[in-house]
Amino acid sequence: MADAPEQRKVFAPWLDTTQKPLIRFENVTKRFGDYTALDNLTLDIYEREFFALLGPSGCGKTTMLRLLAGFETPTSGRILIGGEDISHVPPNKRPVNMMFQSYALFPHMTVEKNIGFGLKQEGQSAEAINERVKEMLALVQLEPFAQRKPHQLSGGQRQRVALARSLAKRPTLLLLDEPLGALDKKLREKTQFELMTLQEKLGMTFMIVTHDQEEAMTMASRIAVMDKGVVMQLDTPSDIYEAPNSRYVADFIGNVNFIECTVISHNGQEYQLKDKQGNQFRLISEVQLETGSTIWLAVRPEKVIVSKEQPQGDVNAVQGIVWDIAYSGDTSTYHVRLPDGTTLKSEMANLRRVRNRPITWEDTVWLSWSLTAAVPLKR
């Protein structure tokens, strides 16, 4: 398969109307006393998806996971798996397994017994269990540790045992609750790719809960950004990043500059905007904007260029003073204060070594971005 890249089809079952969803939330509401954790949620998840729930703590993402696992039952609405209503099926009767944030490994059992636990509950024969456990140990590369107890393993190894245990029963859906939260950064990045490879290899449906936006961006086929029990936006990682539908989503994922503007006029898809200070901006956007309405321009810092000379050509430009420089090795973020006191951020790749770079604190600089760089947000 030399020409594999061309044959590789785009995985987007949510665009295909003939596809049936594997999991369906139908108007699901969950209340704990007066507190509404999930508010009338309707959502489809397709087979083989790597679905990420992203949001701050208390946004309802964990509640969704626990509803799927069966630890909670919805206050109203239905949850379907493969067309079957499982809203009130107990956790031990569901084709769903979960990998817990704390890993929840049984401390009194060896690695082998932990992984085989679910199979033993199914009443499988000792040989069958043994074989499957071996397979799982090989999958997570823990063969030498079969006889160890959890407290004799490192954090990364425990994480892999937990993963193996939740995969052993071949669940239709695997739930991952902040699976990488306890690992350090390097190991976390490595494990992200391992998880993705594994998911592709096994052809299973994964649903991950995380508050780490980078993790969700890297791994997921689709991301649901949640806030206060409501899904704010459900899209692919690139659409969420490049075309956020609200300031909440734009701000939650990555860094962003907001400029409040009024729409002055437009010519086709090209709009004239004016901010409170009277700076005029031009914007090319497919989104219909009403003349006279107030919108927010969202510009990602990496799309803003900082320069000493006034930029030429078809760009938006403002002048300001370098207030702060956040150096993070590969990139530097320039915090530039505008005459009206607001700050815009510009992230520049450090292509040259630091001492050769000309821009420093208190310098007067130009910030510029192209006509298509900004996204207009109505809310």
Question: Any contact of residue 107 with another protein (CB under 8 A)?
Answer: yes
Compute the least distance from the CB of residue 136 to another protein, in Å: 13
Residues 6+ apart with CB under 8 A from 332: 325, 326, 347, 348, 350, 357
Of 11, 19, 42, 122, the residue at the interface with another protein (CB under 8 A) is 122
Question: Any contact of residue 160 with another protein (CB under 8 A)?
Answer: no
Distance CA 27, CA 42 (A): 5
Question: Any contact of residue 179 with another protein (CB under 8 A)?
Answer: no
- Residue whose token pair is 């006509």: 371
Of 43, 80, 89, 104, the residue at the interface with another protein (CB under 8 A) is 104
Host H or E run for residue 348 = strand 343-349
**Applying CB under 8 A, which part among 5-13, 91-99, 217-225, 324-332 lies near another protein?**
91-99
Helix (H, G, I), strand (E, B) or coil at 366: strand
Question: Any contact of residue 11 with another protein (CB under 8 A)?
Answer: no
Compute the least distance from the CB of residue 118 to another protein, in Å: 4
Kindly state the number of chain residues that form the binding site for another protein, as judged by CB under 8 A: 28
Of 91, 156, 254, 311, the residue at the interface with another protein (CB under 8 A) is 91
Dihedral angle sign, alpha carbons of residues 172, 29, 51, 211: negative
Compute the least distance from the CB of residue 124 to another protein, in Å: 11
Question: Any contact of residue 327 with another protein (CB under 8 A)?
Answer: no
Per DSSP, what are the bridge partners of residue 365? 320
Question: Any contact of residue 117 with another protein (CB under 8 A)?
Answer: yes
CA–CA distances in Å: residue 174 to residues 139, 146, 199, 209 = 16, 23, 10, 11
Question: Any contact of residue 125 with another protein (CB under 8 A)?
Answer: no
* Binding mask of the shown chain, residues 69 to 88, with x at each position contacting another protein by CB under 8 A: xxx-----------------
Instruction: Count the neighbouring beta carbons within 10 Å of the beta carbon of residue 217.
Output: 18
Question: Any contact of residue 323 with another protein (CB under 8 A)?
Answer: no
CA–CA distances in Å: residue 221 to residues 47, 71, 83, 207, 337 = 11, 26, 22, 10, 38
Which positions touch another protein (CB under 8 A)? 69-71, 90-92, 96-98, 100-102, 104-108, 117-118, 121-122, 149-151, 158, 165-166, 169
